[in-house]
Structure 1
Amino acid sequence: MASSQTHFFLLFLSFLISDTFSEQPSTPTALVLPISKHALTLQYTTILSRRTPLVPLNVVVDLNGPFLWISCDSTYNSSTYKSVQCHSPLCSLAHSNKLGCNHYNTCTVFSKNVFTKKVSAGELSEDVLSLNSTNGLNPISMVSIPQFLFSCAPAFLSRGLASGAKGVAGLGHTKIALPTQLANAFNFTRKFSMCLSPSPNDPGVIFFGDGPYVLLPGIDISKLLTFTPLIQRPRDSNEYYIRVKSIRVNGKQVPINSSLLMISTVNPYAIIESSIYSSLTRVFIEEALAANVARVESQAPFDVCFSTKNTNGAMIRPGVPVIDLVLQNEKVFWRIFEINSMVPVGNDTVCLGFLDGGLNPRASIILGGYQLEDNLLQFDLESSRLGFTSSLLLRETDCASFNFTN
């Protein structure tokens, strides 16, 4: 954990140094952030540069979060900090059709820690936010938004976050989440792309704006995207959903009805509604056993586990079935390979990284972080569509292969 935080801090310093020697472009077309997996909590974190003077701030990334909230304790000092006034246009922007005010006549928003489920009122505020622009190949220079909106929340709300994290960066489909604020500030297209690395020591990457998105050894992964429509639910309008028409395991149809799938960086593993989970695991087990993969005892929190040894005790790669999430038609599917479906749990055992979500999960299918790692996802808010690649390992690259040096 310490090495991961040190790596992030060195990245931050390199960005500041690059700003000293690089001319800041007046209108960047894309921005870039590192994103790292926290080994203990399995949360994904990034570092933002905030305040005046600039300070590196470690925050957890919530793909579906409505905005950036930060725990504002006594150490939050900034000469450019400003509270948003009640009944102001910015307050209306944050609250859509209803206003929230406190007794100081400042705008109030409710911040939620999605891991502890605790909610608290916070003061809608403005301050400087700086991050690196990019040409898709490397970071170029630091650029700043002088009046970036965020919630100044009580310090206790950060309990339960990854060590050192002081808040949550929401990337949801709202007017004050990071993607929309950044696109509006620099007048580029409302797109962002996320590529999660499974390694706590080697960060993945988030791009704000359009491609190219080039990973070593020089592969523009934006050219690999397949697209499917994003679905918005009125009561969960900030969250990202797609429609799954069917599921196949090794080409064999799993009997399910058309279902909504939610994409999440908060859940470490996939969560499936009970009836779908039962159908999926039944077919998956049948296909694995047909490939002579030995099933073994469950390992919490997973139900379906297999041995990675054969009967003679030699190590093997199990003949793990592939899972296809069939989207708008039979030709458009998101293929989940072993690397994103099977979780090593020790003792020569791997388990299916899909959990039974009961009868009423938030969505019928929730893909968690493990299923997203080393996949590129592009959220096109202009065209309301999701781009996805399946595992980049098949393309001889991975999400830790963006060149963060300048």
Structure 2
Amino acid sequence: MKGKLLINKIMRPSIVFATGVLVVLFLLSFFLYLHISAVHRIEEINGKIGEVDNLIVKSLAEYPGHDSSLSVLETSVEQLYAYPGMEIILTLYSDVLSSPADFTLASKGDIISLYNRISLLKEKISEHSVAREETFRVLYVLILVVVIAMFLLLGISQFETFKVIQLEQERNETNSKLYDQLEKERSLLAFELHDDIAQKLAVIKRYFNSRNSIDEHTNLMEHYASDVIRRVRYLSRMLKAPDNPDISFKDYLETLFADFNVLSDYKLNRKTVGLGALRLTPLAALHIYRIIQEVLTNSRIHSEATEIDLLIVYSHPTLTIKYKDNGKGFEPYLIYKKGIGLDSIKYRLDLLKGKYQLSSAEGEGTDISIDIPVELCEISS
């Protein structure tokens, strides 16, 4: 279903563009047809006017005494060449020139009347020509608007398609990161169960099987049993999200710090400032909790540090986390080549619009600075 939706989103711009092209081609063809028809009509009428002109010249040549009348008619005919729609004028000319009588004053009056009527008709035709030109200009503008709108629509559709593809890619990347994070947590859980808890239980079992050493090692077995219980509780808290509304975010962190102090060999120097005033949404609290947990877990697994300094400061609207250890460190390029447990941290920071800086070198420990803008994920009081 999602594949069909994506295909429809991709195909829609092409269909819109093809439809727009067909519409524009149809309009251009239609207006070109009108223009060609008008040109042919004008040529046809001009041809008829030319025939009338020849008829006038031939007829007036028989009356050489009427130069003024000849001049009037020739001027009228010359001014008619540029105008279409002259059938009525052809009729009027024919009526005047078909008279066999000599040009009298009355016939001259008819010719002058004809000239006046021609002048009036020319004015009307001129008005129609201007109106036609205005109409064509409007049509050209409309075509231009259609073309621009078509390309704008195409651009919008392409942008929507790009957004759909981008969202699909982001969704796939998110799913991949979530899967990687889940696998990492499972691996960590397996490590704790197999390499730590299972070994301690095996030692306890061995002591119980050795009857002679039960009394001798009672205190040691009790210590191992207590340690196993603590680690199981720690794993349970690690897997469970901090979602109890009766427990503050600061208290959740204090529990996390206490677990690491008990279960780890290094010394954790922690300090929190302003967390009592911080009220986060459950999702934001989970991401920040996991970020801090991941930083401490990475240090326990990779750093070989003996001492860690952790400072967490909330000053509206930013939560700042500063981490420093005295471990073996590493070259920063190894982050990208091997991935030293920072993928999930970066993923969660991207969701929170946060940023981090990391500084490390072989034998010089590791510094991490994290800034998270928590203004948008705080609960209004």
TM-score range, shorter chain: under 0.3
- Larger strand proportion of the pair: 1
Q: Which has the higher contact order (CA 8 A, sep 6+)?
A: 1
TM-score under structure 2 normalisation? 0.19
